[in-house]
C-alpha cells in the first residue's frame, strides 16, 4: 500500500470519514434526519443524514484501497462529488435546501478533500496503470 499514493490516501481518508460518520451519531441524538441545522462535531455541523453519507464514503474509500485501479477511480469520483458539494454548500448554508446541515467549516473540509482526492487520483500511480503497455 505504501507504494501507491491512491491506495494510501483512500485508506486514510476512508478510515477518517468512517470514524467521523460513526462519531457523528453520538452527538446528533434528537436531531431530525435531514434537519437543516445539526449539532457540532468539533467545528463541523452534522445531522443523521450527513453521518450516513460520511459512513458510506468512508466504507467506499476503505474498500477501494484494496487495489490501485479501484482507489484511483473512487478517489476521483468522490473528489469530484466533494468539489460539487463544497461549491454548492457555499450557497446552501442558511437555506431550507441544506438537508445535510452544512456550515462553513464543512465547506472548507469538503473543498480540501476534493483537492486532495482529485489531485492524487488524477496525478499519482500513472506508471502502474501504464506499465501494461511499456516494456521494462
3-class secondary structure per residue, 25-66: HHHCCCCCCCCCCCEEECCEEECHHHHHHHHHHHHHHHHHCC
Q: How many domains does the chain have?
A: 1
Residue 48 in domain: yes
Residue 131 in domain: no
Residue 132 in domain: no
Residue 18 in domain: yes
Nearest to 67 by CA among 130, 134, 8: 8
Residue 83 in domain: yes
Residue 79 in domain: yes
Residue 130 in domain: no
Q: pLDDT of 1-36, one tens digit each?
A: 668 999 999 999 999 999 999 999 999 989 999 999
* Average pLDDT score over residue span 70-75: 97
Q: pLDDT of 34-62, one tens digit each?
A: 999 999 999 999 999 999 999 999 999 99
Residue 134 in domain: no
Q: 31 is in which domain, residue-wise? A: 5-125
Amino acid at each position: 500500500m505504501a507504494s501507491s499514493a491512491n491506495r494510501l490516501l483512500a485508506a486514510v481518508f476512508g478510515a477518517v470519514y468512517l470514524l467521523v460518520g460513526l462519531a457523528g451519531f453520538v452527538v446528533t441524538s434528537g436531531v431530525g434526519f435531514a434537519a437543516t441545522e445539526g449539532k457540532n462535531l468539533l467545528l463541523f455541523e452534522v445531522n443523521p443524514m450527513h453521518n450516513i453519507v460520511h459512513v458510506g464514503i468512508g466504507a467506499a474509500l476503505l474498500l477501494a484501497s484494496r487495489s490501485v485501479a479501484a482507489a484511483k477511480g473512487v478517489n476521483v469520483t468522490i473528489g469530484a462529488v466533494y468539489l460539487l458539494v463544497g461549491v454548492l454548500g457555499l450557497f446552501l448554508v442558511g437555506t431550507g435546501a441544506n438537508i445535510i446541515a452544512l456550515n462553513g467549516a464543512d465547506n472548507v473540509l469538503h473543498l480540501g478533500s476534493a483537492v486532495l482526492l482529485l489531485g492524487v487520483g488524477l496525478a499519482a500511480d500513472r506508471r502502474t496503470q501504464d506499465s501494461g503497455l511499456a516494456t521494462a
